[in-house]
Structure 1
Amino acid sequence: ANKIHKPMLRGAVNHRYLTLAVFGAIFVMTIGYMASGRIKQTFMPEVEGDFMQVSIELPQSTPFERMREVAEQLNAARRQLETETADLAAPDPNTGTNSNGVVRSWAMTVDENTVRAWVALTPPESRDLRSKKIAERAKELLGDVPDAERIGFDLSGNNNGPAIQIAVIGENQEDLSAAVEDLKAKLLTFSSVRSVRDSEEAANEELRLKLKPGAERLGVSLAALSNQVRQAYFGEEAQRLPRDGDDVRVYVRYPEEARRSLSSLEEFRVRTEDGREIPLSAVAEMTFEEGVTGLDRRQRQRSIMVEAEADREARGDIMRELEESYFPQFDARYPTVSRRDLGEAESQQEFMAEIFRLLTFAFFGMYALLAIVFRSYAQPALIMSAIPFALVGAIIGHGVFGTAFGLFSYLGAIAAMGVVVNDNVVLIDKMNQFRDEGENAFSAALDAGVSRFRQIFLTSVTEFIGLAPMIFEQAAIAQFLKPMALSLAFGVLFCMPVTLILSPCLYLIGKDVKDNSGKLWRLWRRGWSREAQISPAE
C-alpha cells in the first residue's frame, strides 16, 4: 500500500479535478455505450438450456386429419434432426443410454387446434451445437405449414410468447386496420424478425344469413330461421337417458350424409308459423364473411394485437429503432390510433418503474441514516457518490463476457451498491478519525486511503474470486444467475478504485468548495458592510 497505492493516491489528490473528470468521462462513456445498443438488453436471460418446446397453432376450425398431418410433419423433422446430429449423441444421465443425436427424449400432443412437442436435449456441456442453432435447424426441417397461425420454438421452457407484442388501439376500424398493416410491414423489414401476425388473422370464415324483403310477411323471423338451421345441423336435445350415474343426452338432427356439404343447406326448407315449408333461398340470402373469434378492448376502445417472433436479445434494438425513426411518423399518420407495448416489454417497463420507485425510497432512507451517524449533510452524499459506478462495473462485466443485460443484472448491480456504500463508510470514518486527531484534510485523506487499502482491496478481490466459479460455470442451471454474478463481481471490483482514489479526491474537492464558499461569503459581507459605511457620506 505504501509503495504503490500511496504515490498513486498522492498524484490523484494533487490533480483531483482531473481525476474527477477522468472518472466522470468513464461513467458517461459506459452509459453511452450501453444506450447505443452495443450491449444487448433483455428482460429474462436467454440461457443455453437442455429443453425446447415446439408449438404449432392452426385455425380453430382445422379438421383433426389436418392436425395429424402437421404432427407427422413435425415427427419427420425430428427424425431428420436426430439423423443429422447422430455424432453428437450423449448418454442420458437418468438411464445411461445414448440419446438420438441431440434429442434425449420427445413427447408430443395434439390438443384442440395446437400441436405441441416437449423436447429434452442433451446437456449443453456435452455438445458444441447451441440450443438456438438446434431450434433454427428444427424449424428449417419442419418446412412450410401454410395454414399455421403461429409456429414457436421456445428454449429453456420459458414460453413467454412472442418477443414483440404491441396493442394497436382505436375506434375507427379503417384507420385501425391500416395502422396494423403498416406496423406489420415495418416489423418485417428487420432481419431478426422471423414472422409477424395480428389477432384478427385468427378469424374463421362463417356463413351469415340475411332475411330477404317480405320474409316476415310469410311468418319467418331471423331468430326462428337461425334456430331451425341450428336444430338441423347441430341438433335439438330430445331426451336424457340415465346411464352409469350420468345423463346421456339424445339429440335429433340431420343424418351425417346431409351435414357434410353445403348443398344440403341450399335445399333446406324452412317451416313457417302456419306450417308451410318453403326453400331457404326464398326467404334468406347466404353470404360467407370473415367471422370474429373474439373482441379485445383496451382503454374502452377496440384493440388489435400485433405479434412478432424475433430473437429476444434483438428486441431492445428493434424497439429502440421503432421509437426513434418510425413511431413519430406512425402517430402523425394515424392520429385516431394509439399503441401500447404488451408482453415482455410491458413487464420490463413495470419492473423498471417499480424498482426506480423503491430505490428512491432506499436512497433517501440510506442518506437519512448516514446523516444521523456522521452528523453531516455533505458526507452522506460523498459516501453515496460511488453508487452509480457499481452500475458502470456491471455494464463493463457484461460487455467483457458478451452477456445481455437484464432483470438479474439489475438485481446484481443493486447488491453491489450495498457493498460499495459499506467500503466508503469505512474510508470516510477513518478520515474523520484522522481529522479529530489534528491532521489537515489532505493528510487525513491520504492516510485514510492507505490505512484502509488492505481491507477494501481484500473485500473486493475475495468477493470477485468467490463469484468467479459461477461466472465461468457452463451448466444450464447456472446461466440464470450468471448476469447477477457478473453485475455483483464487476460492480464491486470496479468500485474498488472509485473508493480508494475518487472518494479521497471528492473529500478534498468538498473541502475546497467549503473553503472557497466561506471566502466568498466573507468577501461579500465585507463589501456589503463597506457600502453601508460610505452611504451616509454620500
Structure 2
Amino acid sequence: SLIMAVIFVPVIGSKIAKKNKHNQDDFEEKLKAKYEKVLLYCVNKPKQVLKIAIFGFIGMIFIYAQFNHGVEFFPEAEPESANVLVHAKGDWSIYEKDEMLKKVEDIVLQQEGIENVYSVAGDTGNSTGGSQDIIGKLSLEYYDWDYGRPKSAEILKSISEKTEHLYGIKVEGEEQQGGPKEGKPINIAVRGDNYTLVKSIAKRIEKELAQVEGIKDLTTSLSDPGIEWNLIIDRAEASRHNTNLVEVGNTASLTTAGVKVGTYRPDDSNDEYDIVARFTESQRSLTNLDNLRVITSSSDIVPAENLMQRVAKEKVSIIERLDQKNVVYVKADVEEGVLANTIIDIMQKEIDKADIPAGVSIEFKGDREDQQEASTFLEKAFLFAIMMMLIILVTQFNSIFQAFVILSAVILSIAGVLLGHLIMVKPFGIVMSGLGVIALAGIVVNNNIVLIDAYNILRKDGLSWKEALVEACKTRLRPVLLTAITTLIGLLPMALKLTIVFTERKVMYDSPSSQWWDQLASSIAFGLTFATVLTLLVTPSLIAWFEGRQEYKKNKKNK
C-alpha cells in the first residue's frame, strides 16, 4: 500500500485527472463551514474541550467497569467436528464397552446435521488430567454450515438428552477447539504431598462447582471408584509348611490371570504364544480363592487361608504428579452464553474464603492461565509499539509535545473500543479485542500525523498558529473523513457477523468464519470512529492550548 500511495497512484492520477481544477461541491463547502464554526470554538476555548475529553474518557472507563459483558480468552467459533465421550463406572471388558458404545452410536447416527461418525471403544488416550471412566469416543464430522445444519451446541445437547435413559452411561460433548484454546475452559489443579488430602479437597471443589449455575460436563482425574484385593502371604507360616512365596503366589494366580507354564510356536508362524494355566471361569471367584489348597514341595496339601490373608483396599488406577507433587484436576465446561471467567471468579472467591490445609495449593489452569499469558504478551506488545512510535515521531517532528499529541489519540480512542463492546453486547476478548487495540493504534496515528505535518508546513509559510491550525484542519477534513468512512465500510460486515459470498450471490449471518473476527472488527470500527472525532476536535484543542500557553509566556517575558 505504501508503494501504491507513493508511486503508482500519483502516476495514474496524473494521466487520468482532469486538467481543470477540481470544484468542490456544495455539500463539502457546507460541511467545511459547519466544521469551521465548531473548530473555532475548540481553538478559542481549548481548556473546556480538553476537560470534556478527559472526563468523558474517565467516565467511559467507569461505565464499562459497571456494565461490561465480561471477559473471555478467545471467541467461540462454530466447529466443523466434535467428539462424544462416553463415561461408565466399573471394570468393563472391551466387548462390554463396545456394546455400550454401540447403544450411544445408534442414537448419534439418527441426529440431524452429522455426516460421518467414527467410534473407538476402550482406551482413547486420555490427556493429562482427563477423566478415568471414559469407555469410548465417537468422533463426529458435521455437514458444512452452508447446508443449514443446527449449531454444534444444539447437536451435542440433543445427543445428551436422547441418551439420558441409558442407565449407567454418561455422555459428554467435546467440540473441536479453535485458536489458542485447548481443553475445557475451567481447569482447577489441586496439588500437595499428601494424596489422600489432595483427593478430599478435589472432591470438595467438585461438589461446590456442581452447584454453580451454567456448569456442564464436570469431571475429575480421580480413579474410578472400586476395590482391589491384596494378598498378604505369611512368610513364616509358609516356611513351616515347607513352601515359599512363589508356590503360594502361583496357586493364587490360578484364580486370576493364570500361571505361564510354557510357550508354543506354530509351524506357520514366527511368533511364540504363551501357554497359561488357570481355572475355568466359574471357578475364578473370591470364594474359590479362600478355598484354595496349596501343594507344598513335600506333597502336603495346606489350606491357602492358613498361608495368606485377603485385604480389601480402595482401587487406585492412576496417580498424577505436577512438579513432583500429587495433583488432581477438576475440569468443567460452560453452557452456551456463559463466560468461563465469570465462573472462575466465583470459584476463586469461594476458595479464598475456604480453610485450605497447609501443604495443599489450588491453581487455575486452562483458560485462566492462557489468558494471563496472552494478556501479558499483548500488554508488552502494545507498550513496545507505543515506545517505537514515540521514538520515530520525536525524531521526525523534533518535538516531544507534538509526539504526545499524536499518541494521545491512541490512548483516548480506547474509550471508543469499550463503548463499542457495550453497544454490540460483546465480551472483551483478551486476544482478538487486544489485537484490535494494537491495530487501531497504527491507524489512529496516521490522521494526526498528516494533520500536524500540514500545520507545521503552514507555520513555516508564515501563517500565525491560529490561522495555520484552522487551515490545516479544514484541509485535512476530507481525507480524514474518507479514511474513516472507507475503513468502517470495510469492517462493517465483520463487525455485524456477515459473510458475503460474491461468487454464490448470498449473504450469511453468524457463520463460523465471521465469529472469529467480530471482536477485532468492532474494536477497530468504534475506536476509529471515536479517534476521528478526537483528530478533528481534541487534537486542535491540544495544539491551541499549547500555543496559547507559549504565547502567554512569551508576552509575559517581554513585559
TM-score norm. by structure 1 comes to: 0.80
How big is the shift at 1:466? 1.4
**Hey, what's the Cα distance between the residues in 2 that align with 1:512 and 1:221?**
104
- Pick one of 356, 365, 378 that aligns with 1:355: 378
Moved more, 345-354 or 482-491: 482-491
Name the amino acid aligned to 1:200. Answer: L
Q: Is the 8 A contact 1:53 1:118 kept in 2?
A: yes
- Pick one of 361, 364, 367 that aligns with 1:344: 367
How big is the shift at 1:37? 7.0
**Hey, what's the Cα distance between the residues in 2 that align with 1:237 and 1:436?**
103
Name the amino acid aligned to 2:35. Answer: H
SS in 2 for 1:2: helix
Say whether 1:497 aligns with 2:522: no
**Hey, what's the Cα distance between the residues in 1 that align with 2:56 and 2:270?**
75
Name the amino acid aligned to 2:531. Answer: C
Specify whether residues 292 and 76 from structure 1 end up closer, same or farther in structure 2 by C-alpha distance, changes over 3 A only.
same
SS in 1 for 2:331: strand
Ranges in structure 1 where 5+ consecutive residues have no aligned partner: 83-100, 527-538
Q: In the alignment, which residue of structure 1 is the partner of 2:113?
A: 102
Moved more, 223-232 or 311-320: 223-232
How big is the shift at 1:229? 4.6
- Pick one of 318, 339, 342 that aligns with 1:314: 339
Q: In the alignment, which residue of structure 2 is the partner of 1:160?
A: 182
- Pick one of 499, 511, 514 that aligns with 1:478: 514
How big is the shift at 1:433? 2.4
Name the amino acid aligned to 2:182. Answer: N
Specify whether residues 432 and 162 from structure 1 end up closer, same or farther in structure 2 by C-alpha distance, changes over 3 A only.
same
Say whether 1:434 aligns with 2:458: yes
Q: In the alignment, which residue of structure 2 is the partner of 1:284?
A: 308
Name the amino acid aligned to 1:261. Answer: S
Q: In the alignment, which residue of structure 1 is the partner of 2:320?
A: 296
**Hey, what's the Cα distance between the residues in 2 that align with 1:413 and 1:121?**
35
How big is the shift at 1:31? 4.0
Percent identity for Structure 1 against Structure 2: 22
**Hey, what's the Cα distance between the residues in 1 that align with 2:182 and 2:295?**
52
Q: In the alignment, which residue of structure 1 is the partner of 2:85?
A: 55
SS in 2 for 1:154: strand
**Hey, what's the Cα distance between the residues in 2 that align with 1:386 and 1:118?**
50
Specify whether residues 509 and 60 from structure 1 end up closer, same or farther in structure 2 by C-alpha distance, changes over 3 A only.
farther
Name the amino acid aligned to 1:319. Answer: I
Q: In the alignment, which residue of structure 1 is the partner of 2:15?
A: none
Moved more, 422-431 or 237-246: 237-246
Say whether 1:488 aligns with 2:527: no
Q: Is the 8 A contact 2:253 2:278 kept in 1?
A: no
Q: In the alignment, which residue of structure 2 is the partner of 1:196?
A: 218
Q: In the alignment, which residue of structure 2 is the partner of 1:381?
A: 404
How big is the shift at 1:167? 0.6
**Hey, what's the Cα distance between the residues in 1 that align with 2:267 and 2:458?**
93
Moved more, 65-74 or 208-217: 208-217
Name the amino acid aligned to 1:154. Answer: E
Q: Is the 8 A contact 2:121 2:137 kept in 1?
A: yes
Q: In the alignment, which residue of structure 1 is the partner of 2:26?
A: none
- Pick one of 403, 416, 421 that aligns with 2:440: 416
Q: In the alignment, which residue of structure 2 is the partner of 1:465?
A: 489
**Hey, what's the Cα distance between the residues in 2 that align with 1:417 and 1:220?**
84
Q: In the alignment, which residue of structure 1 is the partner of 2:277?
A: 253
Q: In the alignment, which residue of structure 1 is the partner of 2:390?
A: 367
TM-score norm. by structure 2 comes to: 0.77
Specify whether residues 68 and 455 from structure 1 end up closer, same or farther in structure 2 by C-alpha distance, changes over 3 A only.
same
SS in 1 for 2:271: strand
Name the amino acid aligned to 2:40. Answer: R
Deviation per CA, 1:138-187: give whole Å up to 9, x if none: 21112166655x74323355593222001112224454344323322332
Q: In the alignment, which residue of structure 2 is the partner of 1:327?
A: 351
SS in 2 for 1:238: strand
Name the amino acid aligned to 2:153. Answer: K
**Hey, what's the Cα distance between the residues in 2 that align with 1:60 and 1:518?**
89
How big is the shift at 1:333? 4.2
Name the amino acid aligned to 1:209. Answer: L
Name the amino acid aligned to 2:343. Answer: I
**Hey, what's the Cα distance between the residues in 2 that align with 1:262 and 1:143?**
34
SS in 1 for 2:520: helix
Q: In the alignment, which residue of structure 2 is the partner of 1:88?
A: none
- Pick one of 150, 153, 158 that aligns with 1:132: 153
Q: Is the 8 A contact 2:68 2:427 kept in 1?
A: no
**Hey, what's the Cα distance between the residues in 1 that align with 2:425 and 2:157?**
21
Q: In the alignment, which residue of structure 2 is the partner of 1:90?
A: none
**Hey, what's the Cα distance between the residues in 2 that align with 1:168 and 1:515?**
66
